[in-house]
Every structure is written in structure tokens, then in C-alpha cells.
A and B are shown apart, each in its own frame.
Chain A
């Protein structure tokens, strides 16, 4: 399947709109694709799909539990439902249906979950979603993806159609800072993308943290610190090889996520490191087990230390730690 999406679109379209455009293109080729929403068609920007494919668009009103149950039934009968709701409602409000109807039955449902993290900052904790990665990651059978920007979202939507099984796709409200200029960078579910080479420290980020990590790496480079950046877009199944390679190569790892530090990307990376028997200096950046105050997304990222400045500061802190610098890992395993 080809997608005609370009970076020019990305500068004009919000991430949600990119999702919708991509889905429309894929739906032209695949008649099994249908779109569902629970009164968040406008907010999640799938209005264009509704116009182009009115017979394949289903509006359920403010009733998320029903929507996810219906999606499971549709998928079991052969359709590929894409649901659009806010991440907080997918992961909390309708979790029983997501767990039992979709994940347990391995229903081929693609759950687009927007307004993730603190990206709808002013709306407050009722509309923030800072636990969803932890929750969804614990659902067996489920693939969990957090795209870095609109371009990657286009790739993820395409990959999700090709993948048979349930997928949780976590995107932000509004526009994302551009990480990618083109689609063709070899996107693959479960395969981290290295965006900067480095040997002093590795910054592993997902979602809105990726752009900040790239910026931080550039700033650090200016003062002679080589920070590797990994875009860990797939939280499950996580790219263990990339994490362990980073541990071996750089001995210092920082994770960055717009999410509680408990159970999310940082938790997933920590699990891989702990089970490997190797150790390294390690920090998890994100919400430090708190609910967020309200504010603009960029302000909240600064407050929670997951913006460029916060990452740079954490790297400096981490570099202060005295950490043995031998290449012999065998004695530590």
C-alpha cells in the first residue's frame, strides 16, 4: 500500500488530521477498514473519513464502552475497525471492553487514542492521559505504539493495517514538532529508530519526548557530550536489542515520556535492563507519580522536566555520577 503523504502535509495538518488522511488513503484500497468514534469525531479529526466514506463511519455518541465492544464484534466478523477516542477514555473509561472484548479475543481493532499525555494540558487531569502506557502495556496480545510526530503516525497507521491483531496507537492533540521529513526511514513495529549517534549517554524517548531528545542531543553535542537518541515508538513489544546495545555502548540511559514514570516507557526499559544482569546509570523522566497541573503542553513539558532543558540538565546530572568504565561485562552478569 502506498501513501502519498509528504512533510508539506505535516506542516499544515495536526497529527490527528494526518491520521485521518492516511486512513482515508488506506481505506480506498482496503474495503474492510471502518472508522468508529464516540462523539469525538471532530476532536480526533476524522471528519474527512466521514465525508469520504459515510457508509463506513460509525458514530456511537458518548458511549465508549459500547463502541469498543462493537469494534470487537466487527473485527471478529472480518472488518478492520479504527476507533477514535481520547487516550484517557480508551485506557480507563472503557478498559473492561478493551481488555476482555478486544485484547482477550485478540480482535483486530486499531485503537487511535488521542489527546495523550498532557497534550490537552488546559483541560486538566480528567483529560490528561498519563497512565495509559502502563495500563495498555499490561494487556496481553496488545501492541502499544507511541508515534513521535505526524509523519511517524502515518507510518504507524499503515503498519497497523498490515498487522493482524489489536494495536493501541497513542497520539497527541494538535500539532507535533517535526521529527521526520519523509516517510521512508524504514519504520517497523518493534524496531527503535536511532536519531542521533552517541557514546556518552543514550536518551530513549517516545511521543513528544522524541523531538525534545533530538534537540537536547544537539545542544549537548555543542558542549562535547555525545548523546545517542532512540525513538522507542513501540513500547510493546519493546526493542530489547537496542536497549541493551545502548547500555553496553553508553553506560548511561535516560528515558523521556509524557506519562507517569511508573510503568510506562521508563518502566519497560528498566525491566529489560534489570533482567539483562547489566547495570548502568539510569533516570526516568516524566511525571514523577503525580497528576499534572493545567497549562499549555509545552509549559507542562517544562514543568515535568521532559523538554529540551530538562533533558539536558538530567544528562549533566547523570554524567556527574561516577560509573565504572570497563568493557568486561561478564563479571557483572
Chain B
């Protein structure tokens, strides 16, 4: 179903809450993968608000939908969602990255409820996602698997091994999403090792490929719904995003792949996030009046 205005506003509010949690967690940790967490938080919020069939009381429910965060370094964003569901104690977010914590930069599936795969080494998640999707078919289960990759990650050859195999097996209920935020540690993707023509590459590998604004909940909602309905070929949704989305000093700057922030910067970030959220709400309200 398309999103109603109320649903849209609710998701905006949730994403805003998660963005603030990312900054709060980063302040406790001292540093974090802010850029990539802020580029992926919208799609992940949408997935957990609208699509993921999970049991908040039982993270290991065997028929749950799976979410494989192949860009594992965005764990600081994912953990905000896990805390919201209740899989992670919100208080524990204050220990993120600290010695002895269960919450490290790259989330450990054996320690953090709700994490379906221990990722971090890039180029692994899509294969694992294919495995869970093939297992669903083999075991006669209906659960869906969503895999979110980073764009820089797609420089890894193993991603294309997995892509080839997904097109070949075409398991039902597997959706591939790529956070195309155009930046990686050493620079912009097109400067470091060009990915373009990126969508054509996925098409050549046999995917129905669509590119949508990765900060537009309605567009993403439609694309994911269409991907779940489409059975003849697998779908890849390229999410055109902005690294560090919502914070002025981070937006579009590859240097914010990973970084530390001071209390002062944190306050500035929060002001930016609040203003960003207000602009988005205003735009929705304004559109409603037209």
C-alpha cells in the first residue's frame, strides 16, 4: 500500500529519532561511522516500519524476515533501530565501541539480538543473504530477506559472484538494496574506483534495477513493494543517497565516513537534524494543503 500522510509523518519522525540516536551514540563512543549511517537510516527505518516481519519478543523467531546489513560499518545506525524495537537496551548504546561492550562498530550476530549476520568485511552480505533466501525455499518458509549493501562495497569481486548466483537461482523473497552515497573512505567512488554505469552493471547481471531517491520514503516504499511482487527476475534497488544526510558539516563529505565529534559539534549536529526534520515535515504538510 502507498503511504498515507500520517504514515509518512510517522516514518519521518522515526527516522529523525534514529538520526538523533546516531549522534548521541557517537558522542558516547567518541567517534563513529556517521556518514554511512545517516545515508542508510532512511531505508532501514522504512524497512523496519513497513516490511520486516519480526517478533519484538523473540529475535530468533525462525520465520522472521531477515535483514543482512552487508555494509556492516553502519552498525551504529542499525543499532538505533534495534534499540527502538527493544532487542537492545537503550542504556547499552552508551557503551557502544567501548571495551567489554556487546556493541562494537561491526555488530556481532552472536551477541546482539536482531542481527542476522556478523558483517564488516565487505562483499560478504549478499552471499549470506542468498543463503538465507535459498534456505527459505528449501525449508518451505515464507520469510523474506533484505540485503543492504554499500556502493563502495560493490568494488569487491565477491559481490558480483553473489549477483551472478542470485540471477541464476532467483530465490523468491530476496531484495537487494544498495546505498549509493557516492563516497568511500579514500574519496568519492568515481574518483577512487568508478562504479558507473552502476545500474547497467546490475542489469547486465540479470537484475531488474531501479534507482530511487534514498531519502524519499514514498519512492522507496513503492520500489520495495514492486520488488517483492516481481518474481521473474531478482530486483536491485539503487538508493541514491547523501552521505551524512541531515547534518550540514557531514553532507556529501567523504571524510565523514568515520570520525569523531566534540560535544560542540554534537550540538550543532542536533540543531541541523532538528531543522532538517522540520523542513521535511513542513514539505509534507504543505503538499497536503495543495
Contact = CB atoms under 8 A, between A and B. Distances in A.
Interface of A: 34, 55-56, 58, 60-61, 63, 65-79, 81, 96-97, 100-101, 104-106
- The A interface, classified by DSSP as helix, strand, loop or mixed, is helix
Nearest to B62: A78
A63 B164 contact: yes
B125 to A, nearest CB: 8
Contacts of B135: 73-74, 77-79
Interface in B107-154: 109-110, 116-118, 120-121, 123-124, 126-136, 138-139, 141
B165 A72 contact: no
A100 B127 contact: no
Interface in B157-181: 157-158, 161-162, 164-165, 169
A101 B127 contact: yes
Contacts of B157: 65
A105 B109 contact: yes
Interface residues of B, number: 33
A70 B62 contact: no
A100 B132 contact: no
A69 B124 contact: yes
A73 B139 contact: no
A65 B157 CA distance: 9
A65 B127 contact: yes
Given A69-B127, A74-B134, A106-B110, A79 B139 contact: yes
A154 B141 CA distance: 32
A74 B116 CA distance: 12
Contacts of B165: 60-61, 63, 66, 70
Contacts of A105: 109-110, 117-118
Interface of B: 62, 66, 68, 109-110, 116-118, 120-121, 123-124, 126-136, 138-139, 141, 157-158, 161-162, 164-165, 169
Contact of A77 (B121, B132, B158, B162): B132
A308 to B, nearest CB: 43
B124 A97 contact: yes
A97 B127 contact: yes
Given A70-B127, A71-B131, A100 B62 contact: no
A233 B24 CA distance: 52
A71 B121 CA distance: 17
A70 B121 contact: no
Closest 7 CB pairs of A and B: A73-B131, A69-B127, A77-B135, A66-B161, A63-B161, A73-B128, A70-B131
Contacts of B118: 100-101, 104-105
Given A65-B157, A74-B134, 16 more contacts: A60-B161, A66-B127, A69-B128, A69-B158, A70-B134, A71-B131, A72-B117, A72-B131, A73-B68, A76-B109, A77-B132, A100-B121, A100-B124, A101-B127, A105-B110, A105-B117
Contacts of B141: 77
A77 B139 contact: yes
B124 A76 contact: no
8 contacts: A63-B158, A69-B158, A73-B135, A77-B62, A77-B135, A78-B135, A101-B117, A101-B118
Contact of B128 (A56, A70, A79, A106): A70
A65 B121 CA distance: 12
B116 to A, nearest CB: 7
Contacts of A71: 131
